[in-house]
Structure 1
Amino acid sequence: MAIFVSASFVLFTALVPAWTTAGQGLPALTQTAPASTTVTQAAEFTVPASADVGMNIIPNILDPQAVDPQHVCPGYKASNVQQSDAGFTADLQLNGPACNVYGNDIEDLTLLVQFQADDRLHIQIQPRYIGTENRTWFLLPEELVPRPSDGSYAQAALRKLDVTWSNDPSFSIAVKRKDTGDVLFTTEGKSLVFEDQFIEFGSSLPENYNLYGLGEVIHGFRLGNNVTRTLFAADVGDNPDANIYGSHPIYLDTRYFTTDESGELSYAANPTDKGANYTSYTHGVFLRNAHAQEVLLQPSGITWRTLGGIIDLYVYSGPKAEDVTKAYQHSAVGLPAMQQYWTFGYHQCRWGYQNWTELQDVVDNFAKFDIPLETIWTDIDYMKKYRDFDNDPDRYPYDEGAQFLSKLHANGQHYVPIVDSAIYAPNPDNPLDAYAPYDRGLDANAFVLNPDGSVYYGAVWPGYTVFPDWIGAVLNGSGAINWWINELVIWSKLVAFDGIWIDMSEVSSFCVGSCGSGNLTLNPVHPPFDLPGEAGNLVLDYPEGFNLTNSSEASTASSMLYTQTATAAAPSSTTTESYFRTTPTPGARNINWPPYAINNFNGDLGVHAISPNATHHGGYLEYDFHNLFGHQILNATYHGLLAVFEGKRPFIIGRSTFAGSGKWAGHWGGDNASKWSYMFFSIPQALSFSLFGIPMFGVDTCGFNGNTDLELCSRWMQLSAFFPFYRNHNVLSANSQEPYVWEAVASASKTAMHIRYSILPYMYTLFALANKDGDTVMRALAWEFPNEPWLADADRQFMLGGAIMVTPCLTQGASTVNGVFPGVGDGTVWYDWYDFGPVTGVKAGDNVTIDAPLGHIPVYLRGGYVIPTQDPGLTTAASRKNPWGLIVALDKNGNASGQLYLDDGESLVPSETTWVQFSATHGSSLAIIPQGNFVDSNPLGNVTILGVPSAPASVKVNGKQLGSAAWTYSAEKQFLNLSDLSDGGLSSGAWGSKSIITWS
């Protein structure tokens, strides 16, 4: 969690030490406490706010003194071009005097172009000579981020892409799509800049281009052409357009074309004609580079800048978005982890559950109000003074917890605690402050170091802390991963958790440099800001929808606020701010303050993070690996949970992610706010993580920071019910926002949860397909309906799989919502979830007004799909014991298909699985074909067939006619409902053998 307060709120005690700049080039601050001072809890030292202030940096893109590399750098010339069956290689030499604008120019480069598959092209540019001392300046180790396989190399005739190059006026390369002749990526007109701390390359793009991805960012789904995307993991909260937690250097580019009478394709820059026939093509571009990066999206095209590494570029031809995402996952980042069935239930959390008793009260209240609850979570409240793997002995004692968790598990429910990414360093002068995980970590050489080889001490929630060295563990064999696994195993014997929530993993530190070095005798110390609830620091802000005129108290508070604001001193406009800038150092890199300043939200790269010159075992620098801390802690935690739960799928939700994190964990959207805009932003954020291969995604429902209200929480609880990860979570000292707090929210939640728990078999099947094939779970309308360009920026609606469309109300005070029904121009049929009736009278691209009173979320079923369902219970365990159902949504031709995946819901490698295929044809029959060895004894209790134009004369199941009481037909809504299939032998073991249902 990220908490930001004004410096005026920070408390300073009598123990404020003297601060001096540390030696040896460390960006560290050293404290000296008075010798006579005894550190006690009552006299806790507070880290000064100044400890987290770095150099005053101005981002290059905002700096009027910044030099444009394209104006001063000469580019390169290619020579010694060597063709092969796989592609070609070349040498690149500087095409003039070195510019050394933001680093030291590399004079000699090598180019490698490989056609790795018929739909994948690899372009690699790296220094020709790389010594052992600077290898990781440039080359990203495959042990950390695997390289896409070279494959078997596509034969020229099968390649979907063409590559050309030129030396006029300097080296450039262009990638074209064979089918269209469209240039997908070209560096023509831009000089290649390749320095030891700065690389720049780019491509022109067509007018009004549609790019998606380049996360993590709070932004609309379509990025637009006036955006600078910074990829640098930061603990900063959900600030729109800023760099936040994750780094995903991949984008999708969708282009629309029209076809003339001769069959020629023409790019459609402004495709608004709803009557035209459009064809779309989507390709993807992935830069395998983990350094700090910026991507400039401008009307003329895209410019990529990175503070190190190489150009390791992969172009995926598509031509559909799903083709790109599947190829990206299969070749580059791995397939998403399969989740346990219970993880798709509803999760409740908050920062502020004070003890096991309060947790039990929350669990009991969900049962009292008949609201499903699968998992209860605890934030850092459970910890002993915010220390990982150590419970507070008074509020969360182990013996009481064992009783609570035993009862919870007996009810089929689960528990997930938070684990932070820094480890407390105990006070060496206080024997009572002993902390075994730290001691064992020291013995294992598990922690990040200073350049001089001493341990690096930052500051996080518990005080001065150390940071596990995942990079050194993977590359050098130091002990961080094995130590972490061991700590999880030890703690699991005291606390029977079911999954782990990883936080603060960017990695966050509340001071610049190794500020704890020489100061551990001050521990435990307080963060450099008040926590919510301390010293009157309460979350008193009114909910966004609160009407000030309706309350005299609110009016009084408001008038006081305005009075105070009016009398506040205006800032001086006469001062000129100075900024810290550096220039390249010949033969060396400026690690802490590189010459090119990215647009980092925190400014200085060492602010609120461990310093760039922090050193990993083996001599590797944080500068080169910062964006991978969160990625690798998920790796370590995954293997830790494999040790805790042998043979079971680990359940992990993490904050900081990188390309490939989805093979280990899911992600939540971070520290959002209780505002309508953040509810909207949750949709494009989720769609982006589908693109990144991390489908287990959700946000803090009803908002984390601030106070929510009845209307916002009602709408949000219903929206999040259709996200894979469904959790409500809010900040310490804010108003409680469990759904039972308001009667209307409880009612709205139960309505949406009834749908969610009914379609859990469908959602679980979507995840099985994601894990097996790389399918997406939440999908953009533009992906499912690629020939409708008016959907290019549609991010207020979304698809759950291919069958379900959700159209939430995202506007305060509204009782309707506008939405489109894609595909109707081509005959797609849509059905209302609630009454099963078809949507009629809608034209292609129409923006339709849909009734959405508070408590109702519009949900539609797409014709052509069979959706497996199950009667919902209050837990997933209860639901899995209930009868099955099928919703058969026929398309305009009377056909539909679908599938269902069955296993035990938890095994890492299930020994028994079953796939059930459903196929409805000719508007008169449904075939059910199971294949596998998983045995399920539940009956098929209900089948509803939508789009049946007239009442059938008879209904048969496996050749046996059902009695008239076993089925009904709605002439108004044109659906057939089979409510008793026992005569057809489906009263138990619905999927035990092939079955057929006919109606005529």
Structure 2
Amino acid sequence: MVTKILIIFSLCLLGVLSQNSYVASNIQWSNNGLTATVNYPGNPAQPVVANLLLNVTFETPQRIRFKLTDSTTARWEVPDIVIPPSAPVTIKQAQYTVKVNSSPFGLTITRNSNGQVIFNLDPTQVFQYNNQDIILLNNLNYATNFYGIGERVTNFPILPGVYTIFSRDAAGPYDDGQPPGSNMYSNQPFYLALDSEGNSHGGFFLNSNAMDVFITSTSIKFRTVGGVIDFFVFVGPDPEDVITQYHQLVGNPVLIPYWGLGWNHCRWGYNNLTALQWAYNGYISNNIPIDIMWTDIDYMIGYQDFTLDPTRYPYDEFQDFIDTLHEAGRRFVPITDAAIAQTNYFAYNTGLTQNVYIGSANHPGALVGQVWPGNAVYIDWFHPNATGYWHSMMSQLRQVMEFDGFWCDMNEPSNFCNGECGYPEHYNNLPYTPGQTDLNTKTIDLAGTHYGGLIEYNVHSLYGMHMAINSASFFTDVLNTRPFVITRSSFAGLGRSASKWLGDNFSQFNWMAYSIPGVFNFNMFGIPLIGADICGFNDDTTPELCSRWFQLGTLYPFARQHNTKEAISQEPWMMGPTLLETATWAIRVRYSLINYYYYLMFSVSLNGGVVFKPAFFEYPGDANLQDVHSSDNFMVGSALIVHPVLTQGATNVTAYFPSDLWYNWYNGLPISLPYNRTIVLNAPLRGLVNIHMRGGYIIPRADDHPTAMTIQELRYSTITLVVALDAEGVASGGLALDDGLSVNTISSGNYTLMTYMYKQVSSKQGILSFTSSNHKYTKAAGEYPGVSNVVIYGCQSQISAVTVNGVSVMDNQQFDGTGNVCSAEIVGVHPDDITQLNFSF
């Protein structure tokens, strides 16, 4: 009997028992799309929305949008997220074809280049548009891997199952969709779909209400409790094509400050300034680079936002500490929580005066929840006074704490009560409940009221994004500098203003491994500055786990160590010599690559795309990379592949490589791949993570990485151009130069993009050219002093001369005939002054 009940419930959950009764009529085509009426015949009972309007728009050649809205009554629609096209494209320009089935209603979108269906609202399958239960099925009818649909700790690709999207304060657990309800902090209803031949397309459901997403091997279905159907389909056909097309819609990632790529350190539990200074001094005394020091809620008076405890963090002494950081080119970032303590102090009182709090559905005045300071109220980000209020509070905090970035936490928003403390919950008896979990769990009452007649039920998942955006605009609008804002909760489009970390993880090997898909996903979502708490936040780490996590985590775009006060100390020097050496080496490996990382970050801010990516983004036709080896390796940009150790006790790693030329990053030795392209790499605990460089690329390695203590110092370091030749003897790469701070760098064009191109013309001659696509940045004195060495991976003989216009510029050369690595020391030239170097062999 129990089995039968479960089967029936599962069928109902999947919508198998539902039918599509809608009929499309009055289909009107235009040159830029179509409209139609979509009606439910007869007189359906509530809650069916019977009269719909279909609007299909050819937004760009690679993107199509369709909306289904109530033609008689306005419904909630998410505002200010997507960037509309300057003008829709015509049918002839579109790289897709759309067809509408009239009875029953259906909608099919096909990619023109190969005739593949990339969206299919199948008229024979479920379609439902009820007031609080909308179902939209994309039935592809061919084998597909789906990626994205965040936020969760899960497999990559997503396993068949049911996945909930609704911002929620939940640190896991692992989510395999069986059952639903393991959703986490963010609301990201975007997916990438990939077939076995490497053809990709994408979909984005612009809806902020709670929803479940049903994944099978051939379909994806959305079931939401409100809003409208507003859906975008992206043609691809390559994975990165899909992502750049999506970023064109939600905005390219914000250009972060250069210093934001440095090493970050934090811990919850530095209960006074002495403890924070101890942590900082530990880095200095152990000769470990450090760029950004953070504080958790320890610094506050009673956990009240925008306060600084003068007893534990004396104002003058704390400012002296921050001045010390600044004088050394370092930065400081504090945490701020989402809720304002409901007590008699300036932040709460000012908010009352300006009426900026979410209202209660139970009584006049503000909705009351409970978090770290006790009773608390929440900002109504839709109120016209909210931004000014928030900036004023940040300004007051900065008068006693000269911070450089901002950390937004608890902004799902989190609440230690379910709903409003002391009152019955609302919306806890819905026709359908995503995740099979009360939506008020650990958050504020969904009946809470917002400015303009809005309710929390519709806007809940937007809270964290608005908190982060308003924090970011303080830096751009008030301080006139780039924002460095890290948030826990996010929604689509956050990345054009702020960044994120993966939240409260655990000190376990499997959580370390699952961080890789987490970073993949948020790169796809348009938030490339992303990372997990290195060594884990909750529970006690071990020297082995922490060492392995440093080897991996220092290559996250956002690299920060952080843990809870309940766990053991995990600063690099606190767990013995192995961790100390491994952590230091790992950070310095990152610093050697800092020019490459900044070039990648600059490029995605300019054009969209990803920085930290699954290897199938570069090799989409490789079926092994789509699934079996989808996340036991990763690529940084297009040039580097990394195979970290992800299991306890391992001293080697079985590494699968895409079909290409690969060289050891550290020494240039080529690897010889067997037929299955799988080899065993040595990976000692006290050592460096395995990184290999792809033939065809050039990376500008910072020469001073072994000694630099901040990445600011690396702006004044010479560089070695590491040239990895492909099978044709060609390689290319780039360098982005700007001041690292200005807000409007891209829009003003105040930057220089240097492009390097090497070509082996013959066995006796090679040419390395230097070109600039936007030579507008005026360097500060001593910045980027030039190329000191050129190292060539895959060369066949030693370099006999390097010349510019016939004049020798080579001082010394070396050649390793066993590994086919050659190098030349370059003297007396600067890429600003030349266009090419000529190599003789």
| Fold shared per TM-score above 0.5 | yes
Contact 1:60–1:66, Cα closer than 8 Å, also in 2: no
Equivalent residues in 2 for 1:590-989 (5 A)?
591-599=427-435, 603-646=437-480, 648-741=481-574, 742-793=576-627, 794-822=630-658, 824=659, 828-843=660-675, 845-854=676-685, 855-870=687-702, 871-872=704-705, 873-910=708-745, 912-922=750-760, 924-930=766-772, 931-935=775-779, 936=783, 938-962=785-809, 966-979=812-825, 981-982=826-827, 984-986=828-830
Match of 2:29 in 1: 83
Equivalent residues in 2 for 1:171-186 (5 A)?
171-186=105-120
SS in 1 for 2:92: helix
Match of 1:311 in 2: 229
Contact 1:464–1:516, Cα closer than 8 Å, also in 2: no
Equivalent residues in 2 for 1:165-204 (5 A)?
165-168=100-103, 170-188=104-122, 189-204=124-139
Equivalent residues in 2 for 1:8-27 (5 A)?
none
RMSD over aligned Cα atoms: 2.1
Match of 1:483 in 2: 389
Distance 1:917 1:68 in 2: 52
Contact 1:671–1:704, Cα closer than 8 Å, also in 2: yes
Contact 2:539–2:567, Cα closer than 8 Å, also in 1: yes
Q: Name stretches of at least 5 consecutive residues in structure 1 with no aligned partner.
A: 1-58, 258-279, 427-433, 518-579, 583-589
Distance 1:908 1:72 in 2: 52
Contact 1:60–1:596, Cα closer than 8 Å, also in 2: no
Give the CA deviation at 1:484. Answer: 0.4
Match of 1:358 in 2: 275
Match of 2:67 in 1: 124
Distance 2:477 2:91 in 1: 47
Distance 2:101 2:454 in 1: 37
Match of 2:178 in 1: none
Equivalent residues in 2 for 1:363-442 (5 A)?
363-426=280-343, 434-442=344-352
- Deviation string 1:516-545 (CA, Å, 9 cap, x unpaired) is 79xxxxxxxxxxxxxxxxxxxxxxxxxxxx
Q: Which amino acid aligns with 1:441?
A: G
Q: Which amino acid aligns with 1:991?
A: D
Give the CA deviation at 1:65. Answer: 10
Distance 1:129 1:801 in 2: 49
SS in 1 for 2:17: helix
- Deviation string 1:722-777 (CA, Å, 9 cap, x unpaired) is 11100000111210001111211111112222221011011001111111100211
Distance 1:778 1:660 in 2: 18
Q: Which amino acid aligns with 1:690?
A: N
Equivalent residues in 2 for 1:241-252 (5 A)?
241=175, 242-252=182-192
Contact 1:215–1:688, Cα closer than 8 Å, also in 2: yes
Give the CA deviation at 1:167. Answer: 3.2
Give the CA deviation at 1:958. Answer: 4.8
Give the CA deviation at 1:67. Answer: 7.3
Change (3 A) 1:776 1:64: closer
Q: Which amino acid aligns with 1:927?
A: S
Change (3 A) 1:598 1:919: same
Distance 1:885 1:74 in 2: 63
The question of 1:140 aligning with 2:78 is answered yes
- Deviation string 1:198-246 (CA, Å, 9 cap, x unpaired) is 100202234442111111111122012x221110000011321110001
* Residues matched between the structures, number: 810
Change (3 A) 1:363 1:200: same
Give the CA deviation at 1:991. Answer: 3.3
- Deviation string 1:692-737 (CA, Å, 9 cap, x unpaired) is 0000001100000000001100000110111110000011121000
TM-score by length of 1: 0.79
| Bigger CA radius of gyration | 1
- Deviation string 1:465-513 (CA, Å, 9 cap, x unpaired) is 0000012x2xxx2x11110011001111110111011000000111133
Distance 2:217 2:315 in 1: 59
Distance 2:670 2:715 in 1: 30
RCO higher in structure (CA 8 A, sep ≥6)? 1
TM-score by length of 2: 0.93
Q: Name stretches of at least 5 consecutive residues in structure 2 with no aligned partner.
A: 176-181
Match of 2:353 in 1: 443
SS in 2 for 1:313: strand
SS in 1 for 2:196: strand
Distance 1:256 1:841 in 2: 23
Percent identical among aligned pairs is 34
Change (3 A) 1:959 1:354: farther
Change (3 A) 1:737 1:592: same
Match of 2:207 in 1: 289
Q: Which amino acid aligns with 1:717?
A: F
Partner of residue 149 from structure 1, selected from 53, 59, 84 = 84
Give the CA deviation at 1:118. Answer: 1.5
Contact 2:193–2:200, Cα closer than 8 Å, also in 1: yes
Q: Which amino acid aligns with 1:953?
A: S
Distance 1:352 1:913 in 2: 41
Distance 1:414 1:630 in 2: 24
Contact 2:414–2:442, Cα closer than 8 Å, also in 1: yes
Q: Which amino acid aligns with 1:163?
A: V
Q: Which amino acid aligns with 2:649?
A: G
Distance 2:374 2:777 in 1: 54
Distance 1:802 1:69 in 2: 42
SS in 1 for 2:195: strand
Distance 1:834 1:937 in 2: 22
Partner of residue 148 from structure 2, selected from 208, 213, 216 = 213
Q: Which amino acid aligns with 1:688?
A: N
Contact 1:805–1:861, Cα closer than 8 Å, also in 2: yes
Q: Which moved more, 1:698-707 or 1:155-164?
A: 155-164
The question of 1:346 aligning with 2:263 is answered yes
Change (3 A) 1:612 1:867: same
Q: Which amino acid aligns with 2:60?
A: A
Give the CA deviation at 1:150. Answer: 4.7
Give the CA deviation at 1:175. Answer: 1.3
Equivalent residues in 2 for 1:473-512 (5 A)?
473=383, 477=384, 479-512=385-418
Q: Which amino acid aligns with 1:437?
A: A
